[in-house]
Structure 1
Amino acid sequence: MKIVKHTITVIMKIAVLLVIVVTQCGYTYVTETYTVTGSDTLQSIAERFITKNTGTVREIREFKEGIRELNFDVIGNGDVRAGETLKITYWEAD
């Protein structure tokens, strides 16, 4: 259990350092909210928003799962439903 806690702590510290480095290199971390419409799927939303992710290179599969993880309390393991409000994050080059 101690090893797991230590590993998580190290990962969190690395993540914070990466955020600091990236923000100092001319990138902005953006958070948007999006309300799902009737024709939306998690895939179509990811495809729409990944084009705004100009600060880093991300694969669509990873970007989609990032949206799911950030909104797990709303969508769980299923797909999105009309009317749900999602948080979507990405890096934008300044």
Structure 2
Amino acid sequence: MITVLIRLLTLRAENVIPEVIWALMAIYVLAVLVTLTSVWVTFKKLEGRLLWSLIVLLVPFLGVIAHCLYCLTHADVDVLKQFGFFTRKTA
């Protein structure tokens, strides 16, 4: 497994091996599943859920990124403050 990770990080032509392709596909599938879960939890109306689900499923990569950006722009600031965003650092 360590050899596969080293090959992935070195960006050489021999990196196109089945293990790397399967790993990248697994990461993408997990990202889509997490995004769809977020869509179904975030939106109350069925129309919003279906619209965002179609965007995520039909527009590869960009649908996931678009929903992520939507969530970040419509996020509750108090929740983000708990994770260290929007806090002032004082010396």
TM-score (norm 2): 0.34
**Looking at CA atoms only, which structure, 1 or 2, has the larger radius of gyration?**
2
TM-score (norm 1): 0.33
Relative to its length, the structure with more helix (as a share) is: 2
Which structure has the higher relative contact order (CA within 8 Å, separation 6+)? 1
